[in-house]
């Protein structure tokens, strides 16, 4: 089974204009556990006392999963994490020339020295260590493999491959992860950003190429356009990779709504997995098919994610939709009358830009 390491409480909260309070963080952590997250990245202890107190409260929940903190690869940041009592850390280093220049004045040796110091210390403390390869996708693969092998020799447990500025395509992701998986035996975690809308697809491509884990955030919250979405990766693992995962639809809806509320974000109606209209079939041909077989135009059932199916009466409806709604009112539709109704429905809906309610349809039918 792949590992979902959810970072809603770290990278998710880094989304612009988002700030969670302690109560919200605790609720989100519990709901993520209920919804099947395997690991949680819950914050950045270097941010100070309040962040550290929140992390301790999350640890006090004693959720049966790995709780991790994010750190720059410095002893100071690691010290802050140790003071929280976490058992797992992500220790981040810039790995592209661009960010090595920005952060270390171009000094690659500093990267190796920092890693040696922090990984060795963290392992002495008995921690699970993930090396965060910031900006991996703009880094050179041979250099990345060298860092991974160096990290592994120090006892690191995982390497986080970061598409920090979200530039990869799924095919490029596959090729890069495939290369690294063949040149290092360190486990790989995907950390994909959504600047071109490919974060989830790239995470999935990473799994296909041999990554064992992916960072996610609920509703794809995160820096700029966000991260791979928790609910999309979760459903992909269950339905596309056929993993044996229990998904509780009520908890999933509660999680998504809670994060949206805490982040002050709207969930778009067509958002994959959780958008309220993703099971609303308006096109006549689709409804005609759905009435014959519920498999016709759905990838999975709405109940699996706590949503409902609708056949709205709109501009693209056909007679199957009209018949469906009239029958629900006990009316036996007359074919010619229904055909005559369709242009009227289109005209009304186009003019007022709202679909017809079933009772409005009945009234129109009876008056026609």
Does 11 interact with ligand AKG (rule: CB under 6 A)? Answer: yes
Name which position in 5, 8, 92, 232 contacts ligand AKG (CB under 6 A). 92
Q: How far is the CB of 66 from ligand AKG (least distance, A)?
A: 15
Q: Does 14 bind ligand ACO (CB under 6 A)?
A: yes
**What is the C-alpha separation between 64 and 67, in angstroms, rounded?**
9
Site string (323-342) toward ligand AKG, x via CB under 6 A: --------------------
- At 216, give phi and psi (nearest 5°): -135, 165
Nearer of residues 70 and 324 to ligand AKG, judged by Cβ:
70
Q: Return the residues of window 58-77 that contact ligand AKG according to CB under 6 A.
A: 70
Tokens 């993930």 -> residue: 130
| Binding pattern for the stretch 105-144 against ligand ACO, x by CB under 6 A and - elsewhere | -----------------------------x----------
> Is residue 93 packed enough to be buried (19+ CB in 10 Å), middle (13-18) or exposed (0-12)?
buried
Nearer to ligand ACO, 198 or 338 (CB): 198
Buried b (16+ CB within 10 A) or exposed e, 243-265: eebebeeebbbbbbbbbbebbeb
- C-beta of residue 71 within 8 angstroms of C-beta of residue 46: yes
Q: H helices of 36-134, where?
A: 49-60, 75-84, 97-104, 108-124
Task: Between 15 and 162, name the residue whose CB sits nearer to ligand AKG.
Answer: 162
Q: Which member of 7, 31, 55, 72 binds ligand ACO (CB under 6 A)?
A: 72
Q: Residue 36 binds what, of ligand AKG, ligand ACO, none (CB under 5 to 8 Å, by partner type)?
A: none
The residue among 194 and 251 lying less far from ligand AKG, judged by its C-beta, is 194
Tokens 């290092």 belong to which residue? 184
Q: Does 44 bind ligand ACO (CB under 6 A)?
A: yes
156's contact among ligand AKG, ligand ACO, none, with CB below 5 to 8 A by partner kind, is none
Contact residue for ligand AKG among 12, 36, 43, 132 (CB under 6 A): 132
Question: What is the signed CA dihedral for 12, 193, 208, 29, rounded to 10 degrees?
Answer: 0
Which residue among 164, 200, 215, 288 contacts ligand ACO (CB under 6 A)? 164
Quick one: what does residue 90 bind among ligand ACO, ligand AKG, none, with the CB cut-off 5 to 8 Å set by partner type? ligand AKG
Residues 6+ apart with CB under 8 A from 359: 329
Please report the beta strands in 56-181, taking only residues with DSSP state E, as ranges in sequence order. 66-72, 88-94, 128-134, 158-163
Q: What is the token pair recorded at 310? A: 């609708």
DSSP 238: I
Q: Binders of ligand AKG among 149-188, rule CB under 6 A?
A: 160, 162, 164
72 binds, among ligand ACO, ligand AKG, none (CB under 5 to 8 A by kind): ligand ACO
Q: Is 47 in the site for ligand ACO (CB under 6 A)?
A: yes
211 — phi, psi (to 5°)? -65, 150
- Residues 181, 152 contacting (CB under 8 angstroms): no
Question: Which residues contribute to the site for ligand AKG (CB under 6 A)?
Answer: 11, 70, 90, 92, 132, 134, 160, 162, 164, 191, 193
């Amino acid at each position: 089974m792949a590992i979902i390491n959810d970072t809603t409480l770290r990278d998710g909260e880094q989304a612009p204009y988002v700030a969670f309070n302690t109560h919200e963080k605790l609720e989100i952590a519990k709901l993520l556990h209920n919804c099947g997250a395997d690991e949680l990245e819950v914050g950045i202890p270097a941010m100070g006392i309040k962040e550290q107190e929140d992390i301790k409260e999350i640890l006090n929940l004693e959720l049966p999963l790995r709780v991790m903190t994010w750190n720059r690869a410095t002893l100071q940041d690691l010290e802050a994490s140790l003071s929280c009592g976490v058992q797992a850390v992500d220790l981040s280093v810039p790995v592209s020339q661009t960010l090595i220049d920005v952060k270390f004045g171009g000094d690659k040796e500093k990267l190796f020295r920092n890693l040696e110091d922090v990984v060795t210390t963290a392992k002495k403390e008995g921690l699970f260590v993930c090396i965060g390869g910031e900006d991996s996708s703009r880094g050179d693969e041979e250099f990345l493999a060298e860092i991974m092998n160096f990290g592994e020799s120090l006892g690191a447990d995982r390497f986080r491959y970061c598409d920090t500025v979200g530039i990869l395509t799924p095919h490029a992701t596959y090729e890069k992860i495939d290369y690294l998986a063949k040149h290092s035996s360190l486990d790989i975690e995907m950390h994909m950003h959504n600047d071109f809308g490919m974060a989830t697809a790239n995470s999935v491509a990473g799994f296909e190429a041999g990554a064992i884990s992916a960072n996610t955030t609920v509703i794809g919250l995160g820096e700029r356009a966000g991260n791979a979405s928790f609910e999309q990766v979760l459903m992909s693992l269950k339905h596309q990779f056929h993993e044996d995962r229990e998904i509780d639809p009520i908890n999933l809806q509660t999680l998504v709504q809670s994060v949206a509320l805490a982040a002050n974000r709207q969930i778009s109606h067509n958002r994959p997995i959780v958008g309220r209209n993703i099971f609303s079939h308006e096109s006549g041909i689709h409804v005609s098919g759905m009435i014959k077989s519920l498999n016709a135009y759905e990838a999975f059932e709405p109940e699996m994610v706590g949503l409902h199916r609708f056949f709205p009466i709109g501009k693209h409806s056909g007679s199957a939709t009209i018949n469906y709604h009239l029958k629900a009112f006990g009316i036996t539709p007359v074919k010619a009358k229904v055909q005559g109704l369709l242009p009227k429905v289109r005209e009304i809906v186009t003019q007022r830009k709202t679909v017809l309610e079933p009772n409005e349809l009945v009234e129109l039918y009876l008056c026609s």
